[in-house]
Each structure stands twice: as C-alpha cells, then as structure tokens.
Structure 1
C-alpha cells in the first residue's frame, strides 16, 4: 500500500478562525516556561483526565516546536513590503507565489531506527509501496544488511526522505554514541522499530529523540509471525483480535516507564510489512502523512498570525479615521428640516462604506484579482462568503445609520431640535458624530473579518500546495 495513495484522515491541517479568536495564546506552565497553545487543535480546559492533559501538553510542545521552526521560513520584512505595495490580499499572494517553491524544496526527513534484524528495511519498502527486489528498494535479508545510513526518497516526492539507520546495540554502533553518530537532531520524525517487545534501550532511544523535539512513533513489526505462533499453540481458543490487544497492552506496559508514556501510548502501531492493508499499517501511514504535513501547516500559521495582527491594526486605525465626515455630520445636526439631517448622514455612511471596501480589498477590482487564487468567483464570494455584501446593515446603510442612532440615543434626544429649537440643535449636532462613529466601527469590524477570511482561504490553498504527499 503506497503512502501517496492512502486516504487522508485525522490529519494535521490548517484551521480557519475569526479575527478576534486567539488561536495563539501565551501561557505559563507550572515551571514558568513559555509555551504556545494552538486552541484550534487542543482544548485542554475540556480535558479532565490527568493522562490526557499530559498528552495535550506533549502535543503542544511538538506543535510549538514546529511553529517556531517555521518562523525561520517566513521573511516578515519582505511580506510587509509586498503588503505595503499591493495591499493585504494581493501582497500576501505575491509573497506566496515568490516563496512557495522555496518552501516546497525543504525536505522532510524520517528516521527508521531500532535494533538490528527487526525489519527496518522491509518497513521502508512497505511504506514506499515497493517489493523487496524492486528497483530502488532497501536491501533486506536475514543478516544485518544496514551497516551505514541509507537514503530512500519517495517516488511521489523526492523531498520526502526515509533514512534507514543501522541498528543500535551492535559492536559497531554503541548506545552511548548512537544519537551523535546518527545525527538524530537532523530528522523531523523518528520511527523506533522492534519485532518483539520494546526494550529499555528502545524506550531510551525514543526519549532521546523526544527530548530533541522530534515526533516519535513506535512500530512493532512481524505481527503475522506472532499470530501464527499463537494460533499454533492454541488453535481452539485462538482469537486474533484478543491476541493483538494482548500484544498492544504488553507494549504499553513496557513503555510505561518512559517519562512521556502518556503520549507514547497513542503512537504504537502493530504491523506486518508484507500485509500493508491489515492491522495498524493504514493507521501508521495516516499518522506519517499527518506529521509530514506539519511544516506546511506551521508556515501557514505563522503567516496567519502575522496577517491577523496587520488586519487588526488596519481595522483599529480605520475606526479613528473619517474625522472630516464626523465634523460635517455635526453641522448637519443644526439643520431644522425634518429628515434632511438623517438623509445627508446616511449619504456620509455610504461614502465611508465605499472607501472601506477599497481599504479592506473588498472592491470589485481587488476581488477580481484574488478570486482566481482562492478558486472562487467574485459572484460566489459576494453571495455566500462575505458579510459586507450579504449583511442587511451593510447592504442598506440607511438602516445601519437609523438603527445605530436608535440604539445609542433616546427618542427625545433624536428629535430634541424640533422640540427645543436652540438647545435641541446643539444636542443634535453632538449626537450625529457619535452615530457616524458607531457606523464606522460596525463597517470596519465586518470588513476586517471579511478580509481576514479571504486571507485564510488563500492560506488554506497554500497548505494544500505544501503537502509533501
């Protein structure tokens, strides 16, 4: 079963959010160490079980490490220059198009390690969908065939590389120097492989890799041999499912001494290399695909966070603009003609709306340029995706102004100039700028969310483009 042909399921993926939902929140642990929490991935507050909380913390550390590494792949100064020259959406798109080939060129390195003779080379062939004698397959045999680090690229993408490491524990590759000899720090994912129970040295190796910030997977090979032996020993009472569960529980027992045992219990896979459609092999492939995707997801999250800050800053700045419009609205407040003030101020709000459409890249010209990049037509965006075009308040600024005025001011305040000519006119003049400001706040808030939504649509497409397999 070829890794590139497996169905995607339960993968690490880029997650969309609202502008004011904090996907990244700095928290202090009990040890006062700063950690990055991805709320869309982990809901620690909802977890009551202590072991599950430990798993969440471990996963947070893995994702935080990927996020921090991905920051080196995003040149924020260059991104800001593109945005300044072309606007948020087009600037982001220009930056992505100029950089995505460089991102895609980054290799994903997967180490396959363990004691000699456990089937590491066979596992590499199985993951790559190759027969033992196929061209490019890892050599297998009853003797220890891996005596030096061997590199095996994926047929679908040569940027994904499996590295067959010599077995630990032989005279040539001692445990004391194995981590440095194999340069384990250079790998993104480490598979610890055994054909029997995981020994203390296997757990030690996993802990060392975990301590280096690597994602670790335990793989128990040759499951078919165990099932055949168990069936031969007791043919009448043999139950395959119970036998597999017994083996799994025995493995969990042997990794329970590890400080990260709560996390490791979820990454134990029982496989038979020749039978790639059975046992845990499909789940192993899915897990590998998910971990291989972390780099792309982390790059998108770095961009997401950066653009979120930029759009929020633009939104907050825009809310303090339009001073001249507010001054004019105050002058309209002195007009004694019934409904004339309202009509003129509604016209001011319409002009502000038009300016904000351009400011937040939601005008027809901007949408036309970005629509091809997110695979949605301008008509579809307006009809189904963007609140600026399907929200009643923004489609009918007369209602927006009237409702804002009614919400803030009493009926007496709204009509005071017709009841108390001089004082009422002053009150009316003071009222209008506040109403305009409320309208500006609503317009900027909705349009900023729309722009952020379009940014995330583009990042969602980028994440798919960066998937290695």
Structure 2
C-alpha cells in the first residue's frame, strides 16, 4: 500500500487512534498494522509417496539444517502416519504439512480428503522422484475441483544427472522434463508446463527451485500473498524483488510513526524525525533480506571467513548507512525536498494534523527509508549472487548449507 493508495478507512483509523490516545495509541496501531502479516495463517500441503523427498523439501524451503530444533527427519521409508505440521522457524503461522501418501493403509483414496482435512490448505505440492502416479493424478484433479492450486514437483534431478553420465546435464534435465510433460498431458492435464518444476532439494540454487518459489508467490491466494513474501527466508533474485516491493508499500507506516514523534532535528534542514523508528525499520529490512547479524555470521562461517571481511569484500552499502545515528541523520539530510516530495507532504498533514507539523518530517522519512530499502535490497542481490557463485565452485561450501 503506497501513500497514494491509502484507503479512507485506513486513514480514518490512523486519525482516530491519534485522537483517542495520542502518540502512544498511534504507535500501537501502526506497530500492529506493520506486523499484521505475521498473524496470517499460511498452510502448504506437501504430499507424495515414500522416498520422494517430502521432508527434505520442507527443510530446504524453510532453510532448516540437520540438528536444528524444527528439522524434519528424512527417511527413505514412509514415516508420515498422519498430517504433520512443520512451522517456519521465524514465522510460526507459516506451516508446511507433510501429508501421508494417497492410498496408504490408513489413508485410502475415498477417505483421503476428509482424513487430511483437505480444506485447511492454501496450496498443494505433489512430489515425485520418478514418475507421477495414478494417485498423484487423482489428487491433482480433486484439488482442481475444489478450486485450489497445486504444482507437480519432480525431485532428485541430481540423481538422474548422475545416472546418465553419457549425456550433458542440460540434456538429462530436458529429457526428464519432456517425459513428465508427455505423461501428464496424456492423463488430461492442460497447460501443465506452468505446473511442473524439477528440483534438487540439496541445492536450492539449481534447476527450478527459484521458478517454483516465484510461481508459488504469483499463484498464492491474493489476500495472503504479501504474508508469504515476507515469510520467505530462502532468497532468490525474484524473492528479493518481491520483498522490496512489499516493504516499499509499508514505508508509510514507519514514516507516520516517525513524523508523529518528530524527536531529533536533522542538521542542515531543521526537520525532526524519530531516529529510533528509522533504526527499527533498518533492522526489519535487514532481517527480511538475510543481512541481519545472525544470518551474516552463518554465511561467513559457511564461507570460512569473518563477517567483517565478507562485508568489506562485497562492499555492502547498507551496513555503512545504518551503522550509527550520524549516518542515518546524514542520509535524511541528503534527501532532497523537491516537487516529488510535495505529494507525500500533502498526504501526511490531513492524517496527522498540522498541530504536529508532520508533513515535512513525513516526507523526509519516506525519502530516507526508500533510499535505505534500495541500498539493502541491492546488498541482498550482491550477497545472493556471490553466495551462489561460491556454492557452485566449491562442493565443501555446498555441504555446509545442507
């Protein structure tokens, strides 16, 4: 939601909160709105026969490693006796459900949908490590009848590549893809090209893992799409772009709160902003893009280096910008009060009222946070590209991420 797109209902809620409880109530309301996405339930069902890599996929998508608390045990035999939830480590309302395969003893086909509580899931991922079975086809058709979405996910492509060392890797991948498409089309599935993804759970940087994530975002229920984007921690080029778009729409929340507080005058332009709120926004942005201290330490450890050397090598701008109060106020001072800023000034004054003299403060905050978000997202792209390059060059590094 950009400032130009703010609904009358939302604007009235902001004004009412301020009128009733002043700055405290306003900040409570804005903080609640800013974190509402964390309360939205996201349920993705993962199904398939034993040995297809359901648990491995769930671990990879949540970026959970062996030995960590929420790790889903991986086995070649059927270990799923009932629908088993696996929460995302940072966002408990984002849950992957490991479902028993269709047609197993306790889950016969005719009772399957009722027993797995079919209606609760937002999306279905149907996994296979070889060919998709008759039961897989049946489930896909039932999902379609219920007006829900699904994807076919062909796992263990790396195994196929190793078996066919007489062919180039790209040739093996396309051979597998063509075979899957041919059989799915023969069973009556239309436009299946957009529903089939080939992946290697051990390396999410290869094959169709990126495309799968992007398509999941695009086809997820609209009312939950932003919550999904902000919940993802496995970053790809398209995920980073989607996160930047979602966070840009939320900047007005931080800016209104900062302008309402109007705590610290910025040297040179005489405009007051709340530096604490700007630091809070910077912290939120960094965590979203995997640039927080803990994630950077994990990356540095995997690359056998230090965080400081990694930052220096990659010339990460966001760490310089947001490292101190001086740098943040300097960034605010560098934001031009131009014609482009007048629009956001006109937006803020009717909501907060001239009694707080918020218009100009709001404009500076929007400009400052937009610049900060751009720098952080650029750093995320830089880090992601560098990590992918290093992973592709060193098997030992790759192993550290499994």
| TM-score, length of structure 2 as denominator length | 0.51
Question: Partners of 1:459 and 1:176 in 2: how far apart?
Answer: 54
Matches within 5 A, 1:54-453: 80-83=12-15, 95-131=29-65, 135-231=69-165, 235=166, 238-256=167-185, 261-262=190-191, 264-288=192-216, 291=220, 294-296=225-227, 377=332, 380=335, 382-383=337-338, 385-387=340-342
Question: Partners of 1:139 and 1:157 in 2: how far apart?
Answer: 20
The aligned residue for residue 417 of structure 1 is: none
Cα 1:253–1:208 change in 2 (3 A) is same
Q: CA deviation at 1:382?
A: 2.9
- SS of structure 2 residue aligned to 1:219: strand
Cα 1:377–1:459 change in 2 (3 A) is closer
Question: Partners of 2:66 and 2:13 in 1: how far apart?
Answer: 52
Q: Matched residue pairs, number?
A: 269
Q: Which blocks of at least 5 consecutive residues in structure 1 are unaligned?
A: 1-13, 20-73, 308-360, 391-449, 465-469
8 A contact 1:223–1:272 mirrored in 2: yes
- SS of structure 1 residue aligned to 2:182: helix
Question: Partners of 1:389 and 1:455 in 2: how far apart?
Answer: 10
Q: Which has the higher contact order (CA 8 A, sep 6+)?
A: 1
Question: Partners of 1:208 and 1:460 in 2: how far apart?
Answer: 45
* Aligned-residue RMSD, C-alpha: 5.0
Question: Partners of 1:455 and 1:389 in 2: how far apart?
Answer: 10
Q: CA deviation at 1:275?
A: 3.6
Question: Partners of 2:76 and 2:84 in 1: how far apart?
Answer: 18
8 A contact 1:112–1:165 mirrored in 2: yes
Question: Partners of 1:203 and 1:191 in 2: how far apart?
Answer: 12
Q: CA deviation at 1:148?
A: 1.3
Partner deviation per Cα, 1:263-294 (whole Å, 9 max, x = no partner): x4223221233344332234434555665971
- SS of structure 2 residue aligned to 1:111: strand
- SS of structure 1 residue aligned to 2:338: helix
8 A contact 2:217–2:228 mirrored in 1: no
